[in-house]
Amino acid sequence: MRAVPAGGTEEAAAEAPVGVAAGRLHAAAPEVDPEERALLAFAVAFKGLLRGRMRDAVCVRAEACVARGDLPEEALTEEPIYRWWSAALRAQQDFYVDVTAAIVDRQLEALAATARTIARDPGPGSLTLDPSVRVPTYQAAVDIHCVPGSYFLERIADDVGPGARSELGSLAFAMGRHGAMNEDKGVVAAEFARSFAPDLAIRRILDLGCTIGMSTLAWCDAFPAAEVHAVDVSAPCLRYGHARARALGRCVHFRQADAEALPYPDGSFDVVASHILLHETSRAALPRIFAECHRVLVPGGAMVHVEVPIRDLDPAAAFLARWDAWNNNEPFWGHLAGLDLAGLCVQAGFPQEGVVETVVPSAHQKAGGWLVLAARKPA
């Protein structure tokens, strides 16, 4: 497997695009005024610096620790350069979360009304909510990325707030490097599926943990004749995702469901995919999710999971990659890096020889590419 270069996970601030334009991304999206755009531009430029030149400098010190035989966890965390960098990164996270939350909060009622209208009008796709779906503990117990209320905050009727904030937040987080609509992971996964299973007629696709469908829509574009389904446990994200897909003219069937216990019969889909879902689950959930993927796939069907490339890093890069686990409420992130994912696929019923784990390049400008874990159910 190709390792991600230890330095340069992201490039310098001067080259960072703003990520979020002033105005509206689409008819269901929050309006962003020029002042808010300027705040987001600052957040993106700040992150460019912290993830670029400053991270490279910290990485040099981490590599020196490793070369001396010291653990960066012990030696580097006391050094001023690391402490300054880490504190600034935490402040940058809080800043863009606060800015995106404020943008959404000032128009929360209007966003819910727009989504309601779009959902009521005849249009492509569907939305099926199921209030009996329980949010798993690994999601309910932590606010991922320290976003208050995470994906689940519901303050008004038909709330879409977490979905709307997630769209702006994801664009700012990705510094505009994952495509104009943050579709990079879906583009990469769909392209991978095509080359991984060239003989497979891809007619029905399921996206697990879709949030607002940013990656899902890339599957609609890659396979325009296919029926595309997407599940998530978050009702407000699904409401927003459904309105967003319609506003962008795509047909997706969104459903509130747990990836560990899918409400679809055996053999329902040709492809089951996920995009950065796995690192937000748990050690106990993963085998159940893989078993459900296997169950709902047709014989010969393909499972394709896209993840952050946090495996097989050298010790210095691995130390810096764990920053999110320790400081950004990503409790499972570090554990995923050490798991035998291929073994879990085999345990779920996928033949060992067909399991692939690799790192593939971004379709846009994301440095370091994406980890892909894929397997096929025997025909």
Q: Using CB under 6 A as the criterion, which residues of the chain lie in contact with ligand SAM when the complex forms?
A: 136, 139, 151, 185, 209-211, 214-215, 231-234, 237, 258-260, 275-277, 280-281
Least spacing, CB of residue 363 vs ligand SAM, in Å: 13
Nearer to ligand SAM, 91 or 261 (CB): 261
The full 3-state SS of 181-211, as one line of letters, equals: CCCHHHHHHHHHHHHHCCCCCCCEEEEECCC
Least spacing, CB of residue 135 vs ligand SAM, in Å: 7
| Cα three-residue angle 236-241-246, rounded to 5 degrees | 135
Nearer to ligand SAM, 231 or 318 (CB): 231
Nearer to ligand SAM, 76 or 336 (CB): 336
Nearer to ligand SAM, 36 or 183 (CB): 183
Least spacing, CB of residue 275 vs ligand SAM, in Å: 3
Least spacing, CB of residue 198 vs ligand SAM, in Å: 24
Nearer to ligand SAM, 276 or 359 (CB): 276
Alpha-carbon 83 to chain mean position: 27
Least spacing, CB of residue 89 vs ligand SAM, in Å: 19
Name the one residue in this structure whose structure tokens are 């991922």.
Answer: 144
